[in-house]
Amino acid sequence: MPTAKRIDLGRLSAATPYWRTRDRRAQLLQGDSLEILEEMPAESVDTIFADPPYFLSNGGTTCKNGRRTSVNKGKWDRSKGAEENHAFNRRWLAACKRVLKPNGTIWVSGTSHVIYSVGFAMQQLAFKQLNEIVWEKPNPPPNLSCRYFTHATESVLWAARDRKSKHFFNYARMREINGGKQMKTVWRMTAPSKSEKTHGKHPTQKPLSLLDRLLEASCPEDSVVLDPFNGSGTTGVAAVARGFRYIGIEREEKYLELSKARIQEALTPSRRAGKGARPPLRVV
């Protein structure tokens, strides 16, 4: 593996450096993602995974562990109306496009509440659409109203920075893990397991298996991976486990602490044992 170049993000006025490994291979920044993205160096990131607000916190309820529970996740997830929500999506996607390298790609997850706005914003900003992955959940919560089909999927859009991008795709590996056949765009994966929540929980946490596959498919060697809505840090865990560099942006300290604990665990010798594993990184 080539030696990783440091990414110096210490001078961003919008960001508070929260935690990083000594060699800055993994960094967590605290602050507003839009403001930080707009200050980051242009063309500095290979791959972005973004799990933006779905605007679902509308006072409704869902079923969790057999009980009715509120869908409200926080002020950050409240809808401000279709036009303002779309303007928000356009702004952060434009900021992400600026920091992507010429051949970089972006993954964005969402449900029907947000994904059409994201897709339209990508078209407006001249991203190159590559694929739409459908993540199917085998055990989704039941629909308590019995007036709709049970929601069992989320979409993940994959796009290159622009039409000229020569994006990386690990085709051979994806075919290998799919039993020698071309991998399709419908992936069946369970929600995060209890073992992924030992350090705490986040209301929109994604399964590590999903992020691991996305990064393995789209990251060239020694990539810089960015998650502008870091949440519980699953993207960071998947990135460092594969030897990539990682930048996570998050507002709330409790989720930064959660991410720090999870990434530190991913860097411990017991977790990284095996042929070809990197030595553990020292943290400060």
Domain regions of the chain by residue span = 16-266
Task: State residue 126's pLDDT score.
Answer: 98
Task: State residue 215's pLDDT score.
Answer: 98
127-131 contacts, C-beta under 8 A, 24 or more apart: 127/93, 127/97, 127/159, 127/160, 127/161, 127/162, 128/159, 128/160, 128/161, 128/162, 128/163, 128/165, 128/167, 129/157, 129/158, 129/159, 130/105, 130/158, 130/159, 130/160, 130/167, 131/157, 131/158, 131/185
Straight-line distance from the first to the last Cα atom of the chain, in angstroms, rounded to the nearest whole number: 23
Task: State residue 103's pLDDT score.
Answer: 98
Task: State residue 71's pLDDT score.
Answer: 47
Task: State residue 209's pLDDT score.
Answer: 98
Task: State residue 202's pLDDT score.
Answer: 87
Task: State residue 20's pLDDT score.
Answer: 95
d(CA 119, CA 123): 6
Measured over the CA atoms of residue 27, residue 251, residue 80 and residue 112, the dihedral's sign is: positive
Given a cut of 70, the residues of the chain with pLDDT beneath it are 1-8, 10, 56-78, 269-284
Q: Let me know if domain 16-266 sits in CATH 3.20.20.70.
A: no
Dump pLDDT digits (tens) for 34-85.
999 999 999 999 999 999 998 765 655 555 555 556 444 456 556 788 999 9
- Contact assessment for residue 185 and residue 130, using Cβ atoms and an 8 Å cutoff: no
Task: State residue 135's pLDDT score.
Answer: 97
User: 3-class DSSP state for residue 131?
Assistant: strand
* H helix or E strand, kind and range, residue 153: strand 153-160
